[in-house]
Amino acid sequence: MDPDDAPGFRTPSPAPQDRDRFARLALPNRPAYNEADVSDKPSRIRKLPLIDAATEANIREAHQQRLESLLSLDRAVVRIVSALEATGQLDETLIVFTSDNGYMEGEHRVTAGKQLPYEPAIRVPLVVRGPGVSAHRVARTLVSNVDLAATILDVAGPAPARRPVARPVAAPANGALDA
């Protein structure tokens, strides 16, 4: 949380060298943003007012600071991958990048949050790199966090002590993992 955050808007605190790197970036143009007609939504959503200019500025700042905060993560990933490469371990290492939730940024008039079952809150990145993973492949397969353990075990190769409830992410018959 930053000292200049408006009440109800907690924004990430980017590293000092990344602050304001995306200050001029506009919000993504999403069809459900500040939705004019919410008559098909639950009463909680129908009661929300249209987003005014001040609220939109707060949403934009939070979006920008989320992106700025990711820059330090990017640098950390570069350092980790470089260290794995320098020690000859990169080709034998499975790297999994994901998140626990998405986030609402004005869609359906919801100014912030992650608890609603709408696309922005439920869609999260899942990037997998490592042995048996096809490079540059994008899959639209629906997966859940519970599938990650099965995926890691599938790549690592040990037979599980008991049959997992989850399934590896898109493991074809040849044994190679496509994520």
The whole-number pLDDT of residue 171 equals 47
Q: Which of 8-12, 93-97, 126-130 has the highest mean pLDDT?
A: 93-97
Q: For residues 100 and 87, what is the distance between their CA atoms, to the nearest angstrom?
A: 30
Q: For residues 109 and 48, what is the distance between their CA atoms, to the nearest angstrom?
A: 6
What pTM value is reported for the model?
Answer: 0.80
Q: For residues 133 and 153, what is the distance between their CA atoms, to the nearest angstrom?
A: 14
Domain boundaries along the sequence of the chain: 18-90+101-123, 125-179
pLDDT digits (tens, 9 = 90+) for 42-76: 999 999 999 999 999 999 999 999 999 999 999 99
